[in-house]
Structure 1
Amino acid sequence: MTTFASATMRRRRMALALAGLLGLAAMPAFAAYPEQPVRLVVGFPPGGGGDLYGRLIANALGRTLGQPVIVDNRAGAGGNIAADAVAKAKPDGYTLLLAMSGNLAVAPAIRPQAIPYKVPEDFTPVGLILEAPHGLFVAHNSRFRTARELLDAARTQKLSFASTGAGAAAHIGMEMVKKEAGVEMLHVPYRGSGPAITDMLGGQVDCFFATASPLVGQVRQGQLRLLAITGNARNPAIPDVPTFKELGVNVPVTQWYGLVAPAGTPAPVVKYLADHLGRALATAEVRDAIRRDAATEHNLPMDGFGKFIQEDIARYKGAATPALLKEISP
């Protein structure tokens, strides 16, 4: 005669066995990932801006994943076109975005109504890749030898600064510098760093505020002078350049890049991608390429990266004064 206790125990064993079978049945779907090439959408044209970092990570990640990671360049609108494409993509782990401060922090903070996607709702964070400081540049023959000299002069003289566009990350960064230093300077937006630097060398503008890493080569060649950088510490690649923080001007924002997937991407796939991104960042090839021009690799996976994005959005929102919003409004 079967007792109640033995029947209960038998049912428990059957339930556990069934759960195990279901678990085994579910595993191959994730264990097989990736079964095809992964697409990395980059909001820059080939060879421009973050495309170099996108290709660096795509190559390294492809080697660790065992499948090619193909760069899909979707340039335009400061990276917002690329972000929108990924926000609307199938959440299966085969479409990723090279996210950056511009399209996942500045745009949502400064003009959320002008972008067709929502942050963080439309994305799942995979991991941060790197941070690069913004820098204050002058021409090689500028009368300003230090950032302190320039900021002091701005209190009594009408100075101007160039940026690569109104409302871009570097523009907002310089607005933070102005606010923290208590100075006024005329903003002159340009379409790209080339014309901005040309005019600065020609004396049409006094300085240029931009992401430092792409211009470090010109600093080393003596064409430009880098007076100060954003961030909390000096960069080992340019140890003689002080931070704004050292000058009492606390501007922590940086240009960053990371990987995100569409919202709804399965958690095991996101974890798998985050682990392999960490492996890629640990390789000497990737680490040395990132550090060469004063950027810093930063392995911050998943929820940590999501928190980082939210904190950066809050920083940019704090800079969104009525006057600034009026300047960048279309």
Structure 2
Amino acid sequence: MNKPDFKPMRRRAALAFLALLGMGAAAPAFAAYPDQPIKLVIGFPPGGGGDLYGRLIANELGKSLGQTIVVDNRTGAGGNIAADLVAKARPDGYTLLLAMSGNLAVAPATRPQSIPYKVPDDFAYVGMILEAPHGLFVAQASRFKTARELLDAARTQKLSFASTGAGAAAHMGMEMVVKEAGIQMLHVPYRGSGPAITDMIGGQVDSFFATASPLISQVRQGQIRLLAITGDKRNPAIPDVPTFKELGVNVPVTQWYGLVAPAGTPEPVVRKLSEHLSRVLATPEVRDAIRRDAATERDLGTAAFRKFILEDIERYKGALTPELLKEISTR
């Protein structure tokens, strides 16, 4: 009778023991996270709206975690360069992205074949930070005093709207307004809000559609007027400004920001980041800073944030027409 060979059994037992040791070693490693500075990649130049929100979160989240978070501005391609850099970074929790509707929702919806990363597969979702409404602006001297006046005039007149780029989040938002209102307006893309506002004040374009929060100070100073905003309800910071929804034009898209990490980042690390982000968003200092200019903090955790992004991609896809796709592809 042959003797049983216990070598395979001993080998499996040894491997199982080593695996348990590995798990035991990993737990303290995750518990110690972060033990070195974290990099937050932002796809905007310093001083812009997204950069200001990113630096606010970097500063406050760093305090909560007890570790420095260094901002790294990587501009270009509407934030897609920054997104690609983080998608390809080492998944150890030390490289994060200030994600936004442009690079994680609009780009995947409008030009998925031309961006070098995939949503949702290439990222781990830490949490959402805030939403800011898009708004329809006119010059202070404009003959249009209300959004209803402008939309009604667009039924019989050739009116135009400026944006900061074909296929950008705000451009897509205004295309939704046009579609829902059953009107036509000429889109005039610009490279930045400064030139667009200058031409609007000068009468070269009739209106400007953009994320509202960075321009609220100019509205308060009487330089431009805000006729209506996207979103479900009026914003407490600008209570006199109606929503498009009130006008019967349901446009649900907003400009949002959140934090993501490279796919494969350990789940305990993502969970720890998400928990601390929630704590930061609950502080009066951060809430007041976000709400001051008509944005709203949104504490969506990992799974809820990922779901929100996928739904937002579908919202933008729903606005696409052959003509719009052609315009976007030729810019």
Q: For the residues of structure 1 that align with 2:117 and 2:306, how far apart are their CA atoms?
A: 16
Q: Which letter maps to 2:214?
A: P
Q: 1:35-73: CA deviations, max 9, x gaps?
A: 100000000011123000010000000000111000000
For residue 324 of structure 1, report the CA deviation from its aligned partner: 0.2
Q: For the residues of structure 1 that align with 2:121 and 2:22, how far apart are their CA atoms?
A: 30
Q: For the residues of structure 2 that align with 1:236 and 1:305, how far apart are their CA atoms?
A: 24
Matches within 5 A, 1:30-41: 30-41=30-41
Q: Which residue of 2 aligns with 1:213?
A: 213
For residue 221 of structure 1, report the CA deviation from its aligned partner: 0.6
Q: For the residues of structure 2 that align with 1:198 and 1:163, how far apart are their CA atoms?
A: 12
Q: Which residue of 2 aligns with 1:190?
A: 190
Question: Does the C-alpha gap of structure 1 residues 19 and 76 become closer, same or farther in structure 2, counting only changes over 3 Å?
Answer: closer
Q: Which residue of 2 aligns with 1:276?
A: 276
Matched, 1:88 2:124: no
Q: For the residues of structure 2 that align with 1:22 and 1:45, how far apart are their CA atoms?
A: 42
Q: For the residues of structure 2 that align with 1:69 and 1:124, how far apart are their CA atoms?
A: 18
Identity of aligned residues (%): 81
Q: Which residue of 2 aligns with 1:11?
A: none
Q: Which letter maps to 1:141?
A: A
Q: For the residues of structure 1 that align with 2:260 and 2:138, how far apart are their CA atoms?
A: 35
Q: Which residue of 1 aligns with 2:11?
A: none
Q: For the residues of structure 2 that align with 1:166 and 1:19, how far apart are their CA atoms?
A: 52
Q: Which letter maps to 2:150?
A: L
SS of residue matched to 1:112: coil
* Structure 1 gap segments, 5+ residues each: 1-16
Q: Which residue of 2 aligns with 1:103?
A: 103
Q: Which residue of 1 aligns with 2:45?
A: 45
TM-score for both structures, normalised by structure 2: 0.93
SS of residue matched to 1:165: coil
For residue 25 of structure 1, report the CA deviation from its aligned partner: 3.0
Q: Which residue of 2 aligns with 1:234?
A: 234
Q: Which residue of 1 aligns with 2:160?
A: 160
Q: Which letter maps to 1:66?
A: G
Q: 1:101-140: CA deviations, max 9, x gaps?
A: 0000000000111111010010011000000000000011
Q: For the residues of structure 2 that align with 1:145 and 1:159, how far apart are their CA atoms?
A: 15
Q: Which letter maps to 2:203?
A: G
Q: For the residues of structure 1 that align with 2:58 and 2:176, how far apart are their CA atoms?
A: 33
Q: Which residue of 2 aligns with 1:318?
A: 318
TM-score for both structures, normalised by structure 1: 0.93
Aligned-residue Cα RMSD (Å) equals 1.4
Q: Which residue of 1 aligns with 2:112?
A: 112
Q: Which residue of 2 aligns with 1:302?
A: 302
Q: Which residue of 1 aligns with 2:12?
A: none
Q: Which residue of 1 aligns with 2:62?
A: 62
Q: For the residues of structure 1 that align with 2:20 and 2:75, how far apart are their CA atoms?
A: 47
Q: Which letter maps to 2:155?
A: R
SS of residue matched to 1:35: coil
Q: Which letter maps to 2:323?
A: A
Q: For the residues of structure 2 that align with 1:21 and 1:312, how far apart are their CA atoms?
A: 43
Q: Which residue of 2 aligns with 1:151?
A: 151
Q: Which residue of 2 aligns with 1:123?
A: 123
SS of residue matched to 1:187: strand
Q: For the residues of structure 2 that align with 1:309 and 1:208, how far apart are their CA atoms?
A: 26
Q: For the residues of structure 1 that align with 2:54 and 2:197, how far apart are their CA atoms?
A: 25
For residue 24 of structure 1, report the CA deviation from its aligned partner: 3.7
Q: For the residues of structure 2 that align with 1:113 and 1:81, how far apart are their CA atoms?
A: 15
What number of residue pairs does the alignment pair up?
Answer: 315
**Runs of 4 or more off by more than 2 Å in structure 1?**
17-26
Q: Which residue of 2 aligns with 1:199?
A: 199
Q: Which residue of 2 aligns with 1:5?
A: none
